[in-house]
Structure 1
Amino acid sequence: MKMLKSTAAILTLLFCFNITSAQEEEMTPKKYENPEYYMVSYVKFHPGKSGEAKKIIDEYFIPTSQQAGTDGPVMHLNMITGEWDMMIVWHMKEGLESLNWEMSPDDIKWEKAFMAMAGGKEKGMDISKQWESYIKGSKSHLGRKHKPKPEKQ
């Protein structure tokens, strides 16, 4: 019985190598054509704080993006089910290069517009601290937009 299991394992391993070898002969390197990347963030608010958090989004964050001329989220969804209260989708207009910025030029434009809209740096910092106090937890995932291949005619 032990011999049968060992033989089966060896045959399986050899079969995998044969498939891999056949695939490698046919495969060629290929980059994605004009990939679009998105950051998807999930946010969980402390109980009873989602209304106040959404008020900050509506009164400050969205208008700041419009005023600064920077890209705000592509969309944000109020979640009905699951553990998260909100999902926010951000387009990464520079693709993966966006991840190399500690503070991008757009971040600076947004930050300056936010401070002006809030009524100064001190008030802006207070609103930011208030926003952060509403957040119980968050997580983010990176995704690439699926672009179907054109149909061959």
Structure 2
Amino acid sequence: MVRNVHERRVASPVEHVGPLLDLLGGPHDVLWPARDWPPMILDGPVGVGAAGGHGFIRYRITAHEPCRRVELAFEPGQGIDGWLAFTADPAEARSTLLRVSAEARLSGAMLLAWPAAVRWAHDAVVEELFDNAERAVGSGPLQPVRRSPWVRLIRLLESPRA
């Protein structure tokens, strides 16, 4: 069982940060670091039943609380049976606790792919997403995340060939 949780306190109220969750996977998505990673694309606006993915990962929205929570279930047959959730909760000093959580049971090739590459890419995407959230609300980031040499190598190997 894999459990992966990232959190960042964003120095802006949830009324400003939360609505960004409802733009995920759409044409006005400011959170997903699509410039450097395969874009997150949904087949419609954020809402229960919308389907999509990024790269080879496919999912469907199974729960949505506007401006607060988006939960996705991974589609069967990918070697990853579980969920991914994006949440925005009010925090002290009119800030927001932004959280990305995933829980899944791995099988097949994903048993090797997750610890070797997928986990590292996932972690980098999430931290870059947090940087984008801070940029979108004008509060930072004070220190943008830096990719590890391993993540840079993974990106180089994943990049499409010319």
Fold equivalence (TM over 0.5)? no
Structure with greater proportional helix content: 1
The structure whose Rg is larger is 1
TM-score if structure 2 supplies the norm length? 0.27
Structure with greater proportional strand content: 2
Q: Which has the higher contact order (CA 8 A, sep 6+)?
A: 1
TM-score if structure 1 supplies the norm length? 0.29
